[in-house]
Structure 1
Amino acid sequence: MTKYEAVIGLEVHVQLKTNTKLFCGCSIRFGDEPNENTCPICLGMPGVLPVLNKKALEYAVKLGHALNCPIAELSKFDRKQYFYPDLPKGYQISQYDRPVCQEGYLELSNGKKVRIERAHLEEDAGKLVHSGADGLAGSDYSLVDLNRAGTPLLEVVSMPDIRSSDEAQEYVSQLRSIVRYLDVCDGNLEEGSMRCDANVSIRPRGQEELGTKAEIKNMNSLKAMKRAIDVEIERQIGVVEGGNKVVQESRLWNEATGKTISMRSKEEAHDYRYFPDPDLRPLAIDAAWVKELKDSLPELPSQRYEKLTQTFGLPEYDAGVLVEFKELGDFFMVASETVDNYKGLSNWLMGDIAGYLNANKKLLEDTKLTPEHLAQFVKMIDDGALSSAQAKKLLPDLLESGEAPETLAKAKGMAQISDDGALKEILQKILDENPDNVAAYRGGKDKLFGFFVGQAMKATQGNANPQKLNELLKELLQG
């Protein structure tokens, strides 16, 4: 075990799923022509006044509730001043000392509570597009796209309670699930609708004082974040072991090289010269409205996980998958209302159905499968009306046709033969046609049992109920 301990705090920018920007009516639609969605307000023209988007505040309050944060009765907006080409006003409207939410927590699977220092509303900056294949390092010039400027963000800032890249990964994964369940953000790290910066430092084990931190940026996936944090921890250990001091700075994660690169020195809060925005009045948040939003919260990931494991008796792995992939979990919850075999239902959703969707690059909503039809499908298998092999053959049609499984099975002649009389007749004919093999089996060649099963399946085109077939065959062979 290393003699150093990592200390990690995370800043996660959640892009709120509103239709318009935080302080103006411009669209936040992704993929439009550069600088198409701009106006005098988000461009910072003289004489314009911002107006707060109430839907953004609603989403912030909902997420605050989900993160166990008290909601401020009085909040306000401040100007965070710095220069960058993608910041047209020369300042960013953010929140400094009176954020909407603060002092919450998010509980990890090991029971550890990562404290949430604050969650504050702010507007996003624009975007710089660098020419050249190597991005910023190899570019000749940069272009500015201000479509993103003014997009509403909720920045969720954790306390430095995280001690490993695994804990950091789980924290962000859980937060992503929460914003998706609340439908306040799509949680797409790859496309930037959820962005995470990690403040990483090290200290000797047992020491209370924090070390000098480096802020790691440009981590566009959970996998990249874990790797970047591990690499930065090792870099800082190397710096200290070499007799040098860690510099407080912002560093860029380079996925191609697997290294962090120094960007700039890291500013302190006083460097931004925060002061209250004179164009925005202090925000008095109605307590009755806050309670109404809390009462309207949907089922959260932790609540669903508990229900799947405790009420439905699913293994932890199954529950974890159905919680992480909300679409599958929602489908399971509806289908479970009319079927008792919850594990069978989970297996089909996580196995063959998920495999079909991945192979065909589809979402469940792109198919014509309904929860009711899936429940009927599982019941047919449990009742012996469909064999497992038949079910696998039928599944693509079930997903694409919109027809009931009974209708499809009948049309394809897949009704499983479970009638004792019909199966006995088929088996007896096979035994009569193979007297030598019957005698050999009765003489001790047990492996011939598989031969008879194969002949029966061939005769029934795979439609015989395997369990009943085996039982009746043993009975007839014992003669």
Structure 2
Amino acid sequence: MTDTKSVAQKSLLVRGYEVVIGFETHAQLSTRSKIFSRAATAFGAEPNTQACAVDLALPGTLPVMNKGAVERAIELGLALGSHIAPRSIFARKNYFYPDLPKGYQISQFEIPVVQGGSVEFYLGDEKKTVRLVRAHLEEDAGKSLHEDFIGQTGIDLNRAGTPLLEIVTEPDMRSTAEAVAYAKELHKIVTWIGICDGNMQEGSFRCDANVSVRKPGEPLGTRREIKNLNSFKFMQQAIDYEIRWQIDEIEDGRAIQQATVLFNPDTGETRAMRSKEDAADYRYFPDPDLPPLVIAPEWVERVRAGMTELPRVMAARFVKDYGLSDYDANGLTQSKSFAGYFETVAHTCGYPKLAANWVLGEVSAFINKEGLDIDDVEVPNPIAVGEVIKLIAIGKINGGGAKTAFQELCVRVHNEISDLAAFVQQIVEDRDLEQTNDTGALEKIVDTVLAANPKNVDEFRAGNAKALNALVGQIMKASQGKANPQLVNELLKKKLAA
């Protein structure tokens, strides 16, 4: 990976050092069979029950390319604005490891299938861009199973030959927060377009972080690669620790040695596993058993035509069609299910900005508090939520009443109810939530509150705008929370001005 000045970075210094981070992410492709054989890729099978003769590298076997794996690589390239190579080459990456039966891994080296592109995301309200170097197809290795209690190691070759897409970035990230935000955005994209299930615990989405530090303006420092980060929480902890460790080493007068390291979540520390290999150590050469992968423009267009609406395209549509901010549109497209939930709410109520506020506010707060996903049955039906918002918009209930109605939706089972509008209306009636719009009745309450709070009245007339809020609060309390807040404000200002 190379360092260029073409991408503007706002450096966040750590103890006077600039942090430089790049990522290599292995996304397991969602094919039912392996990349070069017909063996299944299902997770959780008994060891060595999904490894065929090709995966075991038995004499006389030959690899055959999985068309579905290629199409998933094309989809990612299209999603990230990359160049799809019309001709790419498979190579043999040579190294010895017990769970690699062939003694080499089939991968891509000089000419990968996906070249360039970028991942855009928000860090807070600031838009960030991380450039990609490449994404190449390769096969996974098997797995070593260490049985410490009997002092033995077994080999499970079920994963051998599982199709992977390795996605490599430029060293564009300058903080742990930025690195984690990039990884989450990439995870969103691969799951959104359906090329990877994104299950980090099962190893479907594994991140390797290349971390180095340097004084501002100096050349890139020596990087250490943290392997197999399988949760965003551990990713943050591992990178933070590695940054501190490298700075301590440099300030103690020791040079950083290039290495591959592992993160131990129990100790919160990284430890060196082996010295880091370079490309020359793997003795790459074209695989003689596989012809070049040729991707015609017509194939790319067929894949493009079958793709779902991309998150960035959907976010742009939300801005254009619904009048939302870029920040809100990005938040609403955090997943395909979340975006679908919002659109159902918006179409039901007819007020997209209000729907966005509620989905990003009350709905998100509820699912976060309860540890739910937007698809879970415990989450209120989006049509019901839309009906609640519609009642706010037409003035039938106020914000406080709407929150009460939403809380009822969170505890009442209603997903099997066909007439959700009537169901919401029944909640409003049962809880007596309909707001008071009677000007005469409200005027009497306003007069009573003004008479009982002369100090607030004097403060407001003396220029203290906050005194008005205190009066509004007293009126809402006197009306048992059912007064129309807009009407209350109008009446108050009229009387105070008199």
TM over 0.5: yes
Aligned to 2:204: 193
**Residues 1:377 and 2:388 aligned together:** yes
In structure 2, distance between residues paired with 1:101 and 1:465:
58
In structure 1, distance between residues paired with 2:454 and 2:305:
73
**Residues 1:349 and 2:359 aligned together:** yes
Distance 1:449 1:258, change over 3 A: closer
Q: What is the TM-score when the length of structure 1 is the normalising length?
A: 0.82
Q: Secondary structure at the match of 1:271?
A: helix
Aligned residues of 2:449 and 2:474 also touching (Cα < 8 A) = no
Aligned residues of 2:30 and 2:196 also touching (Cα < 8 A) = yes
Aligned to 2:109: 96
Give structure 1 stretches of 5+ with no counterpart. Answer: 133-137, 432-436
Aligned residues of 1:189 and 1:195 also touching (Cα < 8 A) = yes
In structure 1, distance between residues paired with 2:231 and 2:211:
17
**Residues 1:406 and 2:421 aligned together:** yes
Correspondence for 1:225 among 235, 242, 258: 235
Distance 1:106 1:471, change over 3 A: closer
Correspondence for 1:35 among 33, 48, 64: 48
Q: How do 1:212-291 and structure 2 match up within 5 A?
A: 212-291=222-301
**Residues 1:51 and 2:67 aligned together:** no
Q: Secondary structure at the match of 2:241?
A: helix
**Residues 1:73 and 2:86 aligned together:** yes
Specify the code of the residue in structure 2 equivalent to 1:239. E
Distance 1:292 1:440, change over 3 A: closer
**Residues 1:202 and 2:217 aligned together:** no
Specify the code of the residue in structure 1 equivalent to 2:227. K
**Residues 1:130 and 2:146 aligned together:** yes
Distance 1:318 1:91, change over 3 A: same
Q: Secondary structure at the match of 1:176?
A: helix
Aligned to 1:135: none
User: What's the C-alpha RMSD, in Å, of the aligned pairs?
Assistant: 3.7
Residue 54 of structure 1: how far off its partner (Å): 1.0
Aligned residues of 1:13 and 1:155 also touching (Cα < 8 A) = yes
In structure 2, distance between residues paired with 1:452 and 1:10:
57
Aligned to 1:302: 312
In structure 1, distance between residues paired with 2:222 and 2:197:
34
Aligned to 1:152: 163
Distance 1:103 1:218, change over 3 A: closer
Specify the code of the residue in structure 2 equivalent to 1:270. A
Aligned to 1:116: 132
Aligned to 1:5: 18
Identity over the aligned pairs, expressed in percent? 43
Residue 117 of structure 1: how far off its partner (Å): 1.6
Aligned residues of 2:26 and 2:164 also touching (Cα < 8 A) = yes
In structure 2, distance between residues paired with 1:296 and 1:180:
16
Residue 191 of structure 1: how far off its partner (Å): 3.8
Aligned to 2:3: none
Q: Secondary structure at the match of 1:257?
A: coil
Aligned residues of 1:187 and 1:193 also touching (Cα < 8 A) = yes
Distance 1:463 1:144, change over 3 A: farther
Correspondence for 1:61 among 67, 74, 90: 74
Aligned residues of 1:384 and 1:416 also touching (Cα < 8 A) = no
Distance 1:73 1:139, change over 3 A: farther
In structure 2, distance between residues paired with 1:116 and 1:383:
48
In structure 2, distance between residues paired with 1:7 and 1:362:
35
In structure 2, distance between residues paired with 1:396 and 1:42:
54
Distance 1:424 1:297, change over 3 A: same
Aligned residues of 1:441 and 1:449 also touching (Cα < 8 A) = no
Aligned residues of 1:231 and 1:259 also touching (Cα < 8 A) = yes
Aligned to 1:329: 339
Residue 81 of structure 1: how far off its partner (Å): 1.7
In structure 1, distance between residues paired with 2:473 and 2:359:
31
Correspondence for 1:178 among 181, 189, 193: 189
Distance 1:455 1:22, change over 3 A: same
Q: Secondary structure at the match of 1:335?
A: helix
Residue 154 of structure 1: how far off its partner (Å): 0.4
Q: Secondary structure at the match of 2:84?
A: coil
Distance 1:102 1:444, change over 3 A: closer
Q: What is the TM-score when the length of structure 2 is the normalising length?
A: 0.79
Residue 442 of structure 1: how far off its partner (Å): 9.8
**Residues 1:293 and 2:308 aligned together:** no
Q: Secondary structure at the match of 1:130?
A: strand
Aligned residues of 1:15 and 1:154 also touching (Cα < 8 A) = yes
Correspondence for 1:143 among 138, 141, 154: 154
Q: Which moved more, 1:149-158 or 1:333-342?
A: 333-342
Q: Secondary structure at the match of 1:366?
A: coil
Deviations 1:375-400 (CA, angstroms, capped at 9, x unpaired): 23311122133344443444366463
Aligned to 1:106: 119
